Chains A and B, each alone.
Chain A
Amino acid sequence: MPGWRSTALAVALVLVPAAACAKPFVPPGDAVVLERLPEKGDPALAELKRMRAALMMSPRDLDSAAPVARRALDAARTLGDPRYLGQAQAALGPWWKGDDVPPVALLLRATLKQSQHDFAGSLVDLDRLLAVNPAMAQARLTRSTVSTVVGRYADARRDCAELAGKVAPIIVIGCEATPASLSGQAGPAYGALVQVLALPAAAGVREWALTLAAEIAARRGDVAAAERHFRDARALDPRDAYLKGAFADFLLDRDRPGEVLPLLRDDTRNDTLLLRLALAEQRLADQRERFAAHRADLAARFEAARRRGDSLHRREEARFRLAIEKNPQAALTLARDNWAVQREPADLRILIEAARASGNDDALKTASDWIAAHHLEDALIVAQRERSR
C-alpha cells in the first residue's frame, strides 16, 4: 500500500498541470509547509531578522539602523533578492529624504540608490557627502563605481586617484582598473591589477579584485587568464551572485553551456542567473523540457515586474526578448531604454545585438560612436562590430 501511494504521488506530480495551481486553495492539512523562509539555515539572515526586530523599538537610532541597512544591502547583493533592498530602505526611512542627513546614513542611502539603479540620485547624495567629507574613502570608491556604470570614466578615475595613500593599494588599483580599461588603457590597468594581486589581501577585497581582473582579461580576449581569475575568485566566495553571473556569461560567450548548468542549477530564484541558465539550456538538446519551463518562468517574472512598474532588469529582459523570445524589436526598445540609464560593456553588447537583429542603423551608430569616443577595448564587441559592417 505505501508503495502504491508513492507511485500515485509521483504520477500526480508529473501529471498535474500548472492550471491546477491557478485557483486559490485550502491546503490539505495543518502540517503542509507553504513557504520556506530565507533565514532557514542561514545564520546571517536570521541575525538580520533579529536586528530588524530590535530596530522596530527605536527606529530613529542610527547606530541600530546602519548595521541593518548594511546587512540587508549585503543580502540583496549576495542573494539577488530585492526584498532586502526594501528592508534596507525601511531601516533608512528616517534619513531617506532631506539633505541634512548624517554622513553614515547618506552613504548607505547613496549605495542603496545605486542598487535600485537610481544612479543620478546616488551621485547627488555622494556629491553632497564628499563636498563636506572629502576624506571619506568609501564614498569616493562608491562614486567611482557609479560614475563607471554611467560611463563617466574620467570622473571615476579622478575619484580613484584621490584614494591613493588613504587606502590599501589594491583598492586604489581595483578602483582605477575598470574605468581605465574601458577608456583605452586596458593593458596597463590589467598589468597593475595582476601585480597587486600577487600581494596578500583580505579575502573579500581579493575576490573583488580577481573578478575585475577576470572581466578585463575576458574583454581583452585573454581567455585562459580570465578563466583562472574567475576560478580563483569563485574559490574565495562560491555564493557571490554577481560573480556567478559574470562567469556564466564568460562560459556562454565561449560556447560552453554545459558548464553553466552545474554553476547555476540552484540559483533559479535569481532572475539574472535564471536567464543565464535558460540561455545555456537553450543550446543543449537534452535540456529542452527544463528550458521550456524556465522560459515560461522568466516570462512570468518579467510580466510581474512590468505590472509593478519595475525597470531594474531591462538589460536582462532585452537579452531574454532577443535570444529566447526572438523578438528583436522588443529587445531593441528595452536595450535603448537601458542604455539611457547604464553604460557598462554588457549594456553596449545587448544594444548592438538588438540593433543588428532588428536592422536599426541608428542604434548601431550610437554604439559605434561610443566605442570610438572611449577607445573601448572589448574583443567580442569589436568582432561583433566587424560583422555588422
Chain B
Amino acid sequence: MTRIVALLACVLLSVPAFAHKASDAYLTIERDGRSLRGQWDIALRDLDNALGLDANADGDITWGEVRSRQTDIGAYAISRLQVSSGGERCSLSPTAYLIDTHTDGAYAVMTFTGACPQPGPTLALDYRLFEGLDPQHRGLLNFVENGQSRSVVFSADTPHRIVGGDSSGPVRQFVTYLNEGVWHIWTGFDHILFLLSLLLPAVLVRHHDRWQPGASFRASFIDVAKVVTAFTLAHSITLSLAALSIVVLPSRLVESGIALSVVLASLNNVFPVVANGRWIAAFGFGLLHGFGFAGALHDLGLPAGSLALSLAGFNLGVEAGQLAIVMLFLPLAFALRSTWAYRRMVFAGGSVAIATLASVWLVERAFNVGVFSALAAR
C-alpha cells in the first residue's frame, strides 16, 4: 500500500510543474565489447502522435493504454535507430517497459539489449525517431563505455553520429576516423580481394604465355608499389569528391561496380588480358572503390566542424590498413612464388574462388537479391 501510494504520489506530484517543451527523447547506450545495454525515454505525448496511444480517445493516456501497446512502441522505436559496429548492424531487442517523468510530462521507458556481430573501435548510430512527424525532435544520447560517458544530440539535420573511441577534440577525432578507415579496409572483403587479385601476379612474370616465378624481389616490389599507388591515388580522389558531395553516385551502381571489378581482376589472372599494365586497372577501378569508401564514411557521418580532418583521417586509415595487408602479403608470396602450391592453389585456385565469390556479389548487388541467404534458407 505504501509503495502504491508513493508511486501514485510521484505521478500526481509532478503534474503541476510540467513544462511546455519541444520534443526530446533520452537515450542511454552502454557498450561492453560487442554487447550493448540501453534505455530509451520517449514522451507519451510524442508516442501518441505517432502511434495513437489514447485508445478510448478521452484525452488521458493511462498505464493500461500504454501497456497494451508496448510491443508496438518498442518495434516503432527500434526500427528508427540503427546501431552499427565494424560496418555491420547490431541487433537491438527490448527487455522491459516502464514509466518515468521528465520536465514536460510522462515518458515511456524502454530498456533494451543489443548484440553487434562485428567488433569495432566505434559505434555508428543513425537516429530517425519521429522523422517527418516533428523536425524539431532531438535525440539526446548518453553513450557510456569503460566508465566514461559522452553526450551526443541527434536532430533531423544530423541523424548520423559516431561514438566511442573518444572523438572529442580534433586530434582524437582524427584518430577515431583513422581507426575507422583501417577497420573498413580490413572488414571490407571486396576491397581486399580486389587488391589481392592484382597483387597475386606481382611475384610472377608472364613468359611464353606461362606464369614463371619472378626473378628479383625488387621487380616484384616495384610492381606492387605501382599497383598500390595507383589504387590509392584513384580512391583518394573519388573518396574526397563523394565525401564533399561534389560527385554523388547511386550506391547500388557503386557496389555492383566494385563487385564487377573484383570479378574482372581475378579472371585476368586466369585468362590474362592485361599483364603488365595492371596499375592502370588498379587506377580505373580504384575510382569506383573510392565511392564505396565514401559510402562507409557517410554511414559514420562527417562532423561539420572538422570535415577535412576526419576525411583525411579516414583516408589515411584506409591506406594504413591496406599497407599492412601488402606488407604481410609480399614477403610471404615472394618466398612461396616458386612452389607449385603458390602457382596452382593460391594463384590459379585462389583467383577462381575470388571470381566465383565476386560473381555472386555482383548478382546480389545488381539485382538486390540475397543469393547466400536464399541458399542458407533452404
The stretch from A23-31, A250-258, A366-374 touching chain B is A23-31
Interface of chain A, helix or strand or loop or mixed? mixed
* Residue total for B at the interface (Cβ-Cβ under 8 A): 61
Return B159 CB to nearest CB of chain A, in Å. 15
Q: A82-B22, A309-B153 are in contact. Are A32 and B63 (CB under 8 A)?
A: yes
Q: Is the interface of B mostly helix, strand, loop or mixed?
A: mixed
Q: Which residues of B contact A294 (CB under 8 A)?
A: 17
A240 interface residue (CB < 8 Å to B): no
List of A residues within 8 angstroms of B135 by Cβ: 86, 89-90, 93, 96
CB of A87 within 8 A of CB of B134, answer: yes
In the assembled complex, the Cα of A33 lies from the Cα of B353 at a distance in Å of: 64
In the complex the two chains form, is A12's CB within 8 Å of B9's CB?
A: yes
> Which range holds the interface residue count of chain A?
35 or more
Q: How far is the CA of A26 from the CA of B133 in the complex (A)?
A: 28
- A25 and B66 in contact (CB under 8 A), knowing A37-B54, A89-B136, A268-B17? no
B9 and A13 form a contact (CB under 8 A): yes
B147 near A: Cβ within 8 Å?
A: no
Q: How far is the CA of A268 from the CA of B22 in the complex (A)?
A: 15
| Contact of A297 with B59 in the complex, beta carbons under 8 Å | no
A14 to chain B, nearest CB (A): 9
Instruction: Tell me if B45 is interfacial: C-beta within 8 Å of chain A.
Output: yes
Write the nearest CB–CB distance from A242 to chain B, whole angstroms.
Answer: 14
For A83, the chain B residues whose CB sits under 8 A away are: 20-23, 45-46, 134, 136
B270 to chain A minimum Cβ distance, whole angstroms, is 51
In-complex Cβ contact of B61 among A25, A35, A79 (8 A): A35
* Closest B residue, CB atoms, query A267: B20
Contact between chains at B7 and A25 (CB < 8 Å): yes
Nearest Cβ in chain A — how far from B157, in angstroms?
11
Distance between Cα atoms of A243 and B19 in the complex (Å): 19
Give Cα A90–Cα B49 distance, bound, in whole angstroms.
12
CA distance A308 to B156 in the complex (A): 12
Chain A 35-46, CB-CB to B under 8 Å as 1, else 0, gives 111111100000
Are B17 and A37 touching (Cβ within 8 A)? no
- Asked if residues B21 and A21 are in contact (CB atoms below 8 Å), the reply is no
CA distance A12 to B133 in the complex (A): 39
Which listed residue, A18, A29, A41, A304, touches B24 by the CB 8 Å rule?
A: A304
A51 to chain B, nearest CB (A): 13
Are A12 and B64 interface neighbours, CB within 8 A?
A: no
Of chain B, the residue at the smallest CB distance from A265 is: B16
Mark out the residues of chain A between 18 and 77 whose CB falls within 8 Å of any chain B CB in the assembled complex.
18, 20-21, 23-41, 59
Stretch at the interface among B101-109, B113-121, B172-180, B205-213: B101-109
Residue from B22, B45, B135 whose CB has the most chain A CB atoms within 10 Å = B22
Q: Is A164 located at the chain interface by the 8 A CB criterion?
A: no
**Beta-carbon contact of A37 and B60 below 8 Å:** yes
Q: Which listed residue, B20, B39, B99, B132, touches A271 by the CB 8 Å rule?
A: B20
Given contacts A33-B61, A40-B58, A40-B60, 15 further A-B contacts (CB under 8 A): A8-B1, A13-B9, A18-B13, A23-B100, A25-B7, A25-B98, A30-B62, A36-B60, A37-B61, A90-B134, A271-B19, A294-B17, A297-B17, A305-B21, A308-B153
List residues of chain B with CB under 8 Å of any chain A CB: 1-14, 16-24, 39, 41, 44-46, 48-49, 54, 58-64, 66-67, 98-106, 109, 132-138, 140, 151, 153, 155
Interface residue ranges, A against B (CB under 8 Å): 8-9, 12-13, 16, 18, 20-21, 23-41, 59, 79-83, 85-87, 89-90, 93, 96, 116, 268-271, 274, 293-294, 297, 300-301, 304-305, 307-310
Q: Sorted from nearest, which 6 A-B pairs have the closest CB atoms?
A: A40-B59, A30-B64, A86-B136, A24-B98, A86-B134, A27-B63
